[in-house]
Structure 1
Amino acid sequence: MKIVPYEPQYAQDFYDLNVEWLETYFYVEDFDRDVLSNPDKYILNPGGHIFFALENNIVLGTVALLKKEEGAFELTKMAVLPNQRGKKIGQKLMQYCIDFAKRNNFKKLFLYSNTKLENAIYIYRKFGFVEVEQEADVPYERSDIKMELKFIKR
């Protein structure tokens, strides 16, 4: 398995993986459809990044880093093919994002989630994310927890 940056040929995989995940665990919000349908406009052009886990040229999973302010990126749109879940692909994508953030001197990564996703929350904590207060104008209706990982400059 290798992790590669976004290329237009993966746009449909980005959309399909995330919509499947959202429909399985929650529902697709209008904001999700906008972002997933226009990753250039909402993620890449403002300075964000999208990565894909590939094996034999098949997209197994994806994740995005959405730039919110200088050095602060939201870890978002992480999804793995249903038949590939449980193989730590999400954790490999998470580690890749953390390493990428450190290499690029990010100040922090943060994410929004839902506490009903107990395994995900456990994994976020395992990677060093801590719960912080969630602002009132959260972009996702389904979010009831915000977590962040700050990086110490060396």
Structure 2
Amino acid sequence: MPALTTHRFRDDLAQAFHDINAQWIGAMYRIEQTDRDVLENPRARIIASGGDILFVEADGLGIVGACALQKTGERQFELTKMGVLEAARGRKAGEFLLQAIIARAREMGAERLYLLSNAKSAAAIHLYEKLGFVHDAKIMEEFGSRYERCNIAMRYPIG
């Protein structure tokens, strides 16, 4: 197994953020305008508003995954745009990245951390559950309409 490391957002990684996410979204779903806005403008849509983006690098493969924390309120973040390249699946890069993004959310003072997904993303849902996310109807009601494909909402019990 190659060693895994994380990197914070830098402008030279913006294209990797776009490409990794466009690959997985496009393979399973239709890329929505909301996706395009974030993927094409990560500094403006994520970083400038108080969020962060982490990348996972695998030795010998380069950057293989990305995940964003989008600030959606005071001490509130949406875990969004988490993707791992198909070539890197099975190397625990997704789990490594998810653990890192949860730790980063804590560092940033998150009191509410949630995500929006789709039941079709069964492997991702399983990973979220494994690391402690719980299904939450209130989150679904509050934020679920942001994406046409959203039919699952989860929150992480911080604190």
Q: Distance in 2 between matches of 1:7 and 1:101?
A: 18
Amino acid at match of 1:12: Q
Amino acid at match of 2:64: L
The 1:23–1:45 alpha-carbon spacing in structure 2 relative to 1, beyond 3 Å, is same
Pairwise mapping of residues 31-42 of structure 1 onto structure 2 (< 5 A)? 31-42=34-45
SS of match in other structure, 1:16: helix
Q: Select which of 135, 148, 154 maps to 1:147.
A: 154
Q: Select which of 121, 126, 130 maps to 1:126.
A: 130
Q: Select which of 113, 117, 122 maps to 2:121.
A: 117
Q: Select which of 29, 35, 40 maps to 2:32.
A: 29
Q: Distance in 1 between matches of 2:24 and 2:124?
A: 13
Normalised by the length of structure 2, the TM-score is: 0.90
Q: Distance in 2 between matches of 1:96 and 1:128?
A: 14
* Deviation (angstroms), 1:104: 3.1
Q: Distance in 1 between matches of 2:68 and 2:45?
A: 11
Amino acid at match of 2:120: K
* Deviation (angstroms), 1:16: 0.7
Percent identity for Structure 1 against Structure 2: 38
Per-residue CA deviation, residues 104-137 of structure 1 (Å, 9 max, x unaligned), is 3310210000112222111111111111111266
97-106 or 4-13, larger mean C-alpha shift:
97-106
Q: Distance in 2 between matches of 1:151 and 1:53?
A: 23
Amino acid at match of 1:118: A
SS of match in other structure, 2:146: coil
Q: Select which of 48, 51, 57 maps to 2:51.
A: 48
Q: CA RMSD in A?
A: 1.4
Amino acid at match of 2:103: D
Amino acid at match of 2:108: N
| Structure 2 residues not aligned, in runs of 5+ | none
Amino acid at match of 2:47: L
SS of match in other structure, 2:109: coil
Match of 1:103 in 2: 107
* Deviation (angstroms), 1:42: 0.8
